[in-house]
Amino acid sequence: MERSFFPLFERFPALAALPRVELCSLPSPVQSLEHILPGLWIKRDDLNAPTCGGNKVRALEFLLGGLNAGDSVVTVGGTGSTHILSTALHAARIGVTTYALRWRHEMNPVASEVSSRIESLILRPSVHLTPVLPIARARFRAMRQKSRYIPVGGSVPLGVLGHVNAALELVSQVDNGEMPQPSCVIVPMGTGGTAAGLVLGFEIAGLDIEVVGVRTGPRMFANKRAVLSLAARTSRLIGTVSGERMPGIDRNRLRVIHSAYGGAYGRPVEGAARAAADLHEAMGITLDDTYSAKAWMGAIKERRLSRGTLLYWFTFDASCLTS
């Protein structure tokens, strides 16, 4: 596999000493959606890996770093968690076994496909009523088995490094003339790792780009304060490893759209199916109702209300269901 472009290491060379497994093929392309709406672009993170791309694999490069064939990881998530699916698929690429504990949530057709795919990949699949027991059991299992524990969504500072790199990757694409500098970037916001990394990355680059998170999870977990806290903790990690002074994080760099949530994680929202079908017809892109369709609706609404260039960050790779 051709070596990936990793501007995070160019900016902070000391970070290259952190354990990392190369799973991605970067950079992922940017494409104009001018034929859909003027000034609208898409970042194709569904194409950021040779198999099962999407936003989760960026974090997994660090979260699986240092593991060897025969090792195991334990993680958690909802029944149709794309994080669990991506973890299981990419861990298997390096010979690592995945144990996952899940909890119930409202389902949609793609989430059901994700769930079935997960059950074909992980050992002893089980589903609980709420997150409390699975998270506690997962931590205990990881300690007992001496496995690596990966929290829900992989949204911890080590994993967020992959998304900081994604922001710097986009900055390089803008500098190279591949697209105009966007005034804002629209991204689905569940556990917040992608949004946190983009906020920090644009701050490091010194660019005035607003990150707009379209909330896809309960407000008590998916909120502005939590994302900014995660970005700040990631900044401290970079500063500690690199020895460099990090910039402060402007809280106005992040805005959250709450209206697309639909009242429950995994619940489709009105109009999403039609919007997703239109994008599939135009680009051959498949959206999922849990995350990317809601963010896509947010992108369309934002573009119609604003001027300038807007970038929709596409985080779901439908090939994960068959690869």
DSSP for 168-217 reads HHHHHHHHTTSSPPPSEEEEEESSSHHHHHHHHHHHHHT---EEEEEE-S
308 φ/ψ sector (left φ>0, alpha ψ -120 to 50, else beta): left
**pLDDT for residue 209:** 97
Q: Which residues contact 204 (CB under 8 A, 6 or more apart)?
A: 11, 164, 167, 168, 246, 247
Q: Report the amino acid identity of residue 249.
A: I
Q: Tokens representing 276?
A: 């997703």
Q: Tokens representing 119?
A: 């059950």
Do 185 and 261 lie in one domain? The reply is yes
Q: Is 100 in contact with 76 (CB distance < 8 Å)? A: yes
Do 64 and 33 lie in one domain? The reply is no
pLDDT band at 3 (very low <50, low <70, confident <90, very high): low
Do 256 and 278 lie in one domain? The reply is yes
Nearest to residue 245, comparing CAs of 193, 203, 209, 198?
203
Q: Tokens representing 143?
A: 């300690």
Do 307 and 268 lie in one domain? The reply is yes
Do 198 and 77 lie in one domain? The reply is no
Q: Does residue 199 form part of some domain?
A: yes
Question: What mean pLDDT is reported for the chain?
Answer: 95
Q: Does residue 32 form part of some domain?
A: yes
- Listed as own residue / partner, the contacts of 4-10 with beta carbons closer than 8 Å and 24 or more positions apart are 5/169, 5/172, 6/165, 7/165, 7/168, 7/169, 7/171, 7/172, 8/161, 8/164, 8/165, 8/168
Q: What is the dihedral of CA 80, 211, 49, 138, to 10 degrees?
A: -40
Do 213 and 277 lie in one domain? The reply is yes
Q: How far apart are CA 55 and CA 195, in angstroms?
A: 10
Q: How far apart are CA 215 and CA 275, in angstroms?
A: 18
pLDDT band at 1 (very low <50, low <70, confident <90, very high): very low
Tens digits of residue pLDDT in 185-238: 999 999 999 999 999 999 999 999 999 999 999 998 899 999 999 999 999 999
Q: Does residue 267 form part of some domain?
A: yes
Do 72 and 30 lie in one domain? The reply is no
Q: Provide the residue range defining the domain that includes 90.
A: 58-154
169/260: higher pLDDT: 169
Report the alpha-carbon angle 135-138-140, nearest 5: 110
Q: Does residue 206 form part of some domain?
A: yes
Do 74 and 30 lie in one domain? The reply is no
Strand pairing report for 148-150 and 184-189: unpaired
**Portion of the chain with pLDDT greater than 70, in percent:** 99
Q: Is the pLDDT of residue 2 over 60?
A: no
Do 91 and 232 lie in one domain? The reply is no
For residues 159-173, give the mean pLDDT. Answer: 98
Tens digits of residue pLDDT in 293-307: 999 999 999 999 888
Listed residues 122, 154, 186: the one ending a domain: 154
Helix axes 157-175, 55-63, angle to 10 degrees: 130
Q: Does residue 1 form part of some domain?
A: no
Do 121 and 265 lie in one domain? The reply is no
- Cα dist from 297 to 165, 191, 253, 268, whole Å: 26, 19, 21, 12
**Could you give the 3-state DSSP secondary structure of residue 43?**
strand
**Could you give the 3-state DSSP secondary structure of residue 291?**
coil
- Cα dist from 87 to 5, 21, 60, whole Å: 22, 13, 7
Do 166 and 34 lie in one domain? The reply is yes
Q: Which residues contact 175 (CB under 8 A, 6 or more apart)?
A: none
Q: Tokens representing 40?
A: 């609208």
Q: Tokens representing 146?
A: 């001496």
CATH number at residue 131: 3.40.50.1100
